[in-house]
C-alpha cells in the first residue's frame, strides 16, 4: 500500500496562507492524492484531490510535484475554524475498484489569532 508522511503539527497565523506538506514517494502512476480534514468529534471532511495537475476549489489548492512524490495543500487565508487534523491520503484500489482510504496520523494544524 502506498504510504504518506506528514509533519505531526503546524501553526499558522489567522489570515495567512497555511501550507501543509505531504510525502508519497511510493505512489503509483494511477493513484490519486486526497486531502481530508477532521475537526474534533466530527467525521472527516473531503477537501480536494488530484492526480498530477494542480487543483483548486473553493476550499483549497493542491500542488503536486512533477514526479508526484510529494504534494502541498494550501489554505489561502486560514481562519480559526480551519484548526483541525489534516490527512493526506493515497487511495488504494482493490479488485472491486471501490478503493479504500488509508488514513495516517495526519497533521494537526493550529490557527492562531
Partner 1 sequence: DVKVTQSSRYLVKRTGEKVFLECVQDMDHENMFWYRQDPGLGLRLIYFSYDVKMKEKGDIPEGYSVSREKKERFSLILESASTNQTSMYLCASSSWTGNQPQHFGDGTRLSIL
Interface with partner 1 (CB under 8 A): 32, 34, 36, 41-46, 49, 51, 91, 93, 96-105
Which residue, 12 or 71, is less far from partner 1 as judged by CB?
71
Beta strand segments in 9-112, E: 9-13, 18-23, 33-38, 45-50, 55-56, 61-64, 70-75, 84-90, 107-112
Shortest distance in whole angstroms from residue 86 CB to partner 1: 14
Nearer to partner 1, 32 or 110 (CB): 32
* Residue 50, strand partner residues: 33
- Residue 113 beta carbon to partner 1: minimum distance, rounded to whole angstroms: 27
Place of cell 497565523: 13
Least distance (Å) from partner 1 to the CB of residue 78? 22
Amino acid at each position: 500500500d502506498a504510504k504518506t508522511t506528514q509533519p505531526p503539527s503546524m501553526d499558522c497565523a489567522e489570515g495567512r496562507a497555511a501550507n501543509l506538506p505531504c510525502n508519497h514517494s511510493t505512489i503509483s502512476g494511477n493513484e490519486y492524492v486526497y486531502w481530508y480534514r477532521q475537526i474534533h468529534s466530527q467525521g472527516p471532511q473531503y477537501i480536494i484531490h488530484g492526480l498530477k495537475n494542480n487543483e483548486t476549489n473553493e476550499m483549497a489548492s493542491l500542488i503536486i510535484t512533477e514526479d508526484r512524490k510529494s504534494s502541498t495543500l494550501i489554505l489561502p487565508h486560514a481562519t480559526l475554524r480551519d484548526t483541525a487534523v489534516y490527512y493526506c491520503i493515497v487511495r488504494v484500489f482493490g479488485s472491486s475498484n471501490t478503493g479504500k482510504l488509508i488514513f495516517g496520523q495526519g497533521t494537526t494544524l493550529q490557527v492562531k489569532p
